[in-house]
A and B are shown apart, each in its own frame.
Chain A
Amino acid sequence: MKWSQLDMDFIGHFGIPTALCTEDLNLVQANDLFQELFCLTVGNSIASMFNDLEVKKMRRKLSRNQAYKLVVVAQNQRQTPYEFTFKTLDENIAILATDATEIKKSEDMLASYSKMIERQNRAIKRDKEKLEVLIGNILPSTTISELRSNGQVKPKKFTNVGIMMLDLVGFTTLSAQNDAEVLFSELNELFTCFDILAENHKCERIKTIGDAYLAVTNVNIENSKPNESLASLATDIIHIIESRSGKIDWKCRIGLHKGDLVAGVVGKTKILFDVFGDGINTAARMEAASVPMKINCSENFFQTIDFIEHFTPRGLQQIKGKGPAKMYFLENSFHNLDSQRIAEIVQQARTMKSIVESTI
């Protein structure tokens, strides 16, 4: 079947470009509007003119007596988008083109808004991930999970855990003698070295208070050799302080103890995971009773270790508020950190970005 010229002109009169092509996609009829808009004349091949034409898909749809649709941009000044509808008409294929400006506008707008929202979603996701990292460095993962599911964290009691308390000797004097920036920078570097060592030995730094450093074992990080780890951490710290070069001549006192503590989250706005209890107090007493660059251990700590050859008994020493107690020095030779490893750790601490720098 073919349309009469009158039919074609009639449809064209309403601004509808219309054409008819053979199964081989050669144009056999087209109204003036169609020819003008798409620069096609009878005898031209539709397939060679429309690059986006999916011939296989079109044939499949037409064979099912379905319409095949395609958006084609007209060759006019406005480059108007037209939606072509291909439909079988007896032995030929009828093509009806309708102005798709509004549809295209809506689709473009949808795509644009979708992209905008997706970009925002990705930014929110990135920020959320940064926040998770930041929170993960403030609170232990078990505490975060508990906070998420219960909205609160119940304090937990831990018995017979390893505790290390460290204090830098003469910090007040050093503060008065040195430039604040230098002092703070060196203190920061030193504590970062301790953090690296603590992580290496599966120990956990709980907090620093001024020039004091508190680490524990088996509170949030499981450790099958807690005594050995804590002793290694303490001796490595001594080696680091002895070996590193800096403007300030640092010295420390270390106390090791095994005892009980209670751990929990304190504060509502400035949240802190903290530990309290007799174990902490005793570890602090051990540190206070130590001497510069020595590791002083409590009887409780000594009784649970299996490397007694590295200890020197100190006999009974006075503990403030507790009376006399047996104490032992852990020899600094217990764990040796070679000079290359020390240099690596110091370098790592110097180049490491703070968690705040890398997340904000």
Chain B
Amino acid sequence: MSLFDKLGGFAAVSKVVGEFYDELEQNPVTAPYFVGMNMEKLIDHQVKFLSQALGGPQQYSGKAMNAAHQKLTITEEAFNEVARTLNEVLEDNGIDPADIGAIMDLAGSLKDEVVSA
């Protein structure tokens, strides 16, 4: 069984992603990056990306990680804040600690492609 199925499929992933962006938009460190962004589209992309990364259906057709983040000049502080928030949202949703570890490892592996400032 993939982690995607274990978490509860598309509905569970979309709930987590929705709460995740809700937090990021309220966080003073990360909120500036989302000004003027189409959040619905972003959330939709992220749900597809995360679902695919967790072994769900292959449906992500967005930009590559570095191409999608380069113009945003994301700082290491902002990246760490995003990672901390993701961890928190996963915990809030009662995800198994071992699975959170796997997801955080995946997120951590994207750091070099995302941080550009």
| Nearest CB in chain A to that of B11: its residue | A111
Using a Cβ cutoff of 8 Å, how many contacts connect chains A and B? 24
If A54-B92, A118-B5, A121-B57 touch, whether A110 touches B26 (CB-CB below 8 Å) is: no
Q: Do A114 and B9 form a contact, CB below 8 Å, given A66-B26, A121-B57?
A: yes
A107 and B14 alpha carbons, distance in the complex (Å): 10
CA A121 – CA B14 in complex, angstroms? Answer: 18
The count of chain B contact residues (Cβ–Cβ below 8 Å) is 10
Task: Give the complex CA separation of A111 and B8 in angstroms.
Answer: 10
Judge whether B92 and A115 touch: CB under 8 Å. no
Chain B residues near A66 (CB-CB < 8 A): 23, 26
B10 to chain A, nearest CB (A): 4
Q: Could you tell me if A117 and B10 are in contact, using CB atoms closer than 8 angstroms?
A: yes
* Distance of A91 from chain B, by nearest CB (Å): 22
**Residue contact B10 to A114, C-beta cutoff 8 Å:** yes
Counting CB contacts under 8 A, is A57 at the interface? yes
A110-B14 in contact given A66-B26, A118-B9, A121-B57 (Cβ < 8 Å): yes
Minimum Cβ distance to chain A for residue B16 (Å): 13
From 1 to 57 in chain B, residues with beta carbon under 8 angstroms from any chain A beta carbon are: 5, 9-11, 14-15, 23, 26, 57
Partner of B92, one of A57, A107, A121: A57
For window 187-242 of A, CB contacts with B under 8 Å fall at none
Chain B residues lying within 8 Å of A121, measured Cβ to Cβ, are 57
- Interchain CB contact under 8 A, A114 and B92: no
- Asked if B57 contacts A114 (CB within 8 A), the reply is no
Residue of B nearest to A121 (CB): B57
- Residue pairs across A and B with Cβ atoms less than 8 A apart, 10 shown, are A64-B26, A66-B23, A67-B26, A110-B10, A110-B14, A111-B11, A114-B14, A117-B10, A117-B57, A118-B9
| Residues of A participating in the B interface, judged by any CB pair closer than 8 Å | 54, 57, 64, 66-67, 107, 110-111, 114-115, 117-118, 121
